[in-house]
Amino acid sequence: MRIEKILVPTDFSENAQAAFEKACDLARQLQAKLYVLHIQDGSALRVAIREGLLSADSTDEQLQTTIHQLIAERFSQIWAGLDCTQFSIECVSRQGSPKAGIVKYAKEINADMVVIGMRGITAMSMVTSAALGSVAESVLRRSPCPTLIVRIEHRRDRVE
């Protein structure tokens, strides 16, 4: 099986960054194309409030534009300092449920592999994911292709 398309979902967290770095290594080694997917799971208003972007005179159009700019900045920040010249990267932003959206996009692009970040396992996270299911676990169960789970502890440059 030749791996030509690697999907790496991101919520721009440290865990997602660790997965992105691993996906870059794989893309470089396999000469694969990297697809970076961000799924906005809330409305523009919710995201604007969470990010502190809302002002009294903000219009819906201004909020949408500001959020798109923020996402574009965060996309460029994830590969800052990394050598990404030896492979192609496509960044995509969607809106909806990350659990369903990641699997749907993997099928849409006919991904050969998904590389996704996951928080380390703690007693509380085990209870939470048992009750609600984490995004990574949901993708692992439903992915149409092999899925690599990367925990923050797998980061090469991590200081012990």
Domain boundaries, the chain: 5-154
Q: How confident is the model at residue 64 (pLDDT cuts 50, 70, 90)?
A: confident
pLDDT of amino acid 117 = 92
Model confidence at 9: pLDDT above 70: yes
CATH number of 5-154: 3.40.50.620
What is the rounded average pLDDT of the residues 90-105? 94
Least confident residue range of 25-34, 50-59, 110-119: 50-59
Q: How far is CA 113 from CA 5, 48, 127, in A?
A: 7, 32, 28
- Backbone φ and ψ of 142, nearest 5°: -110, -5
Instruction: Determine the pLDDT at residue 40.
Output: 86
